[in-house]
Amino acid sequence: MLYQEADRVAFYGGASRRDSDVAGHFQSYNPSNDEPICRIAISSHRTIDHAVLAAQAAFPSWSATPPVERARILQRAVALLRERNDQLARVETLDTGKPFSETSTVDIVTGADVLEYFANLVASGGLNGESFRLRPTAMVYTSKEPLGVCVGIGAWNYPIQIALWKSAPCLAAGNCMVYKPSEFTPLHAEYLANIYKEAGLPPGVFNVVYGAGDVGAYLTSHPLVAKVSFTGQVSTGKKVAGTAGGGMKYVTAELGGKSPLIVMPDADLERAVDVAMMANFFSTGQVCTNGTRVFVPREMTESFERALLEKMQYVRAGDLFDAATNFGPLNSREHWKKVTEYVRYGIETDKARLLCGGTDAPAELPAELRKGYWVRPTVFADCTDDMRIVKEEIFGPVMSILPYAGVDEAVTRANTTHLGLAAGVVGRDVGQCHSTVSRLEAGITWINTWGESPAEMAVGGWKQSGVGVENGRRGLDAWVRNKSTLVELESSTATVFSKL
């Protein structure tokens, strides 16, 4: 059955705008069956300028609105997001290919939670500065000032969640935003813009433009933009950070990873397998923090593999709206090609042992889904650190099992990467887990679990996995600049220019 969405055009100054000089169109597809869903107008430079100017025009009034009033508007948007959870989840499922069982319980929920968190934070003094007496006759006070027009550029794996993780602290802090969704998953953006509008957000505070890398690059170099918050690949992040840095803009970059999961020698086998599966197959492996390098004590590998194979039968591909389905297709044809090439490389060139999976679509798929971008969850065993499938981010459901001899060795090998997004440890002795996790070079770490990222928890990568953090109290600081004021209380002051 063909599902169609209305054409998308840029949204700025509080309304959708069908500009006459669009820079072409692109098409979005349903990843589960390759059917077209929606045609999107690529924003021309003139349209992008209009969106930036709309944001700039809205800034003086929005930034002067008391935080508690801004929070009230954002809270209304939270209520609308929750009220429309299933409708939005349906859209996200059609756009991303993630099962409804996932989008309806994670994507909008975690986005709305973050919006609620930042609304509450600014309403309860999160933007307060500090003051101190410098000497009896002088004091200093500081304030947290919004930056101005900010840009949000999203990846395709968590579209509405990324849009909310960026816009929530941005708007709560008093900034205005021009947001560009990924060209692969653009549908959520207009829904979100309309929810903000309905909640009472003034025109121009949140704007949307569409397009691929050239639109992102134009936004990043725009002279009226004060900050760029980017989520995507390391290679793109470097370009964005370079351009933004060249213009002395603030930048936050949430990038890719190749994260290690260390199964400790005392780990409960069932638990270790559950965590490893969450760290590799949730969202069909299209999660930036995926724990794709699974270090297992050499003497435990056989039993780990057996228990893993046993549980793999519970990965269920199929109709995305069937409540039992927990594994969807990859997001796009391009991405499907990339992932299947990695799997082929792992088999033919790296010569890793294929424990399960491969390049075919899951056998249980019904005929009407055979044209979608499906792969099977794949596990390679007996992997070594020099294999390409172990070194590079695949961003798909591909797990590598790496046997190790001792925990020190596992930690050293886990850290031997230029990436540092996430890491995790599974073990019974939590003290040992703490000391092991403390030696892992990553910005987001878990013990005996994987993947949960609540609003209160600041997240961001180390090394080449990113710059700055999102969420938590520190996440708000990424959207403000500091102003310090020294007040002299003495009525008359002597200076070097005073009369001698």
Tell me the catalytic residues.
166, 254, 288, 470
Q: Is position 453 an interface residue for ligand NAD (rule: CB under 6 A)?
A: no
Q: Which is nearer to ligand NAD, 30 or 220 (CB)?
A: 220
Rounded to the nearest 5°, which phi and psi values hold at 353? -80, 120
Q: Which of 117, 156, 342, 446 binds ligand NAD (CB under 6 A)?
A: 156
Q: Is position 99 an interface residue for ligand NAD (rule: CB under 6 A)?
A: no
CA distance 412 to 474: 29
Q: Which of 30, 182, 283, 378 binds ligand NAD (CB under 6 A)?
A: 182
Q: Is position 213 an interface residue for ligand NAD (rule: CB under 6 A)?
A: yes
* Binding piece for ligand NAD, criterion CB under 6 A, among 25-33, 100-108, 191-199, 254-262: 254-262
Q: Token pair 């500065």 is at which residue? A: 129
Least distance to ligand NAD, CB of residue 96, Å = 11
- Binding string, 360-399, against ligand NAD, x = CB under 6 A? ---------------------------------x-x----
Q: Which of 157, 207, 252, 340 binds ligand NAD (CB under 6 A)?
A: 157
In terms of C-beta density within 10 A (0-12 exposed, 13-18 middle, 19 or more buried), how is residue 276 classed? Answer: buried
Q: Token pair 């070097």 is at which residue? A: 496
Neighbouring residues of 302: CB distance < 8 A, sequence distance ≥ 6: none
* Binding piece for ligand NAD, criterion CB under 6 A, among 2-10, 40-48, 94-102, 153-161: 153-161
Q: Which of 255, 277, 343, 440 binds ligand NAD (CB under 6 A)?
A: 255
* Binding piece for ligand NAD, criterion CB under 6 A, among 27-35, 102-110, 248-256, 479-487: 248-256
Given a contact cutoff of 8 angstroms between Cβ atoms, the answer to whether 160 and 92 are in contact is yes
DSSP string, 265-284: TT--HHHHHHHHHHHHHGGG
Query: What is the chain's Cα-based Rg?
Result: 24
Q: Is position 217 an interface residue for ligand NAD (rule: CB under 6 A)?
A: yes
Neighbouring residues of 337: CB distance < 8 A, sequence distance ≥ 6: none
Q: Is position 216 an interface residue for ligand NAD (rule: CB under 6 A)?
A: yes
Q: Is position 466 an interface residue for ligand NAD (rule: CB under 6 A)?
A: yes
Structure tokens of 338?
Answer: 């990339």
CA distance 113 to 493: 52
Pairing of strands 227-231, 176-180: unpaired
Q: Is position 451 an interface residue for ligand NAD (rule: CB under 6 A)?
A: no
* Binding piece for ligand NAD, criterion CB under 6 A, among 28-36, 249-257, 262-270, 356-364: 249-257
Q: Is position 282 an interface residue for ligand NAD (rule: CB under 6 A)?
A: no
Least distance to ligand NAD, CB of residue 185, Å = 8
Q: Is position 448 an interface residue for ligand NAD (rule: CB under 6 A)?
A: no
Q: Residue 403 is which amino acid?
A: P
CA distance 396 to 386: 19
CA 167 to chain CA centroid, nearest Å = 12
CA distance 23 to 334: 22
Structure tokens of 163?
Answer: 């849009």
Residues near ligand NAD (CB under 6 A): 153-158, 180, 182-183, 212-213, 216-217, 220, 231-233, 236, 239-240, 254-257, 288, 393, 395, 421, 461, 466
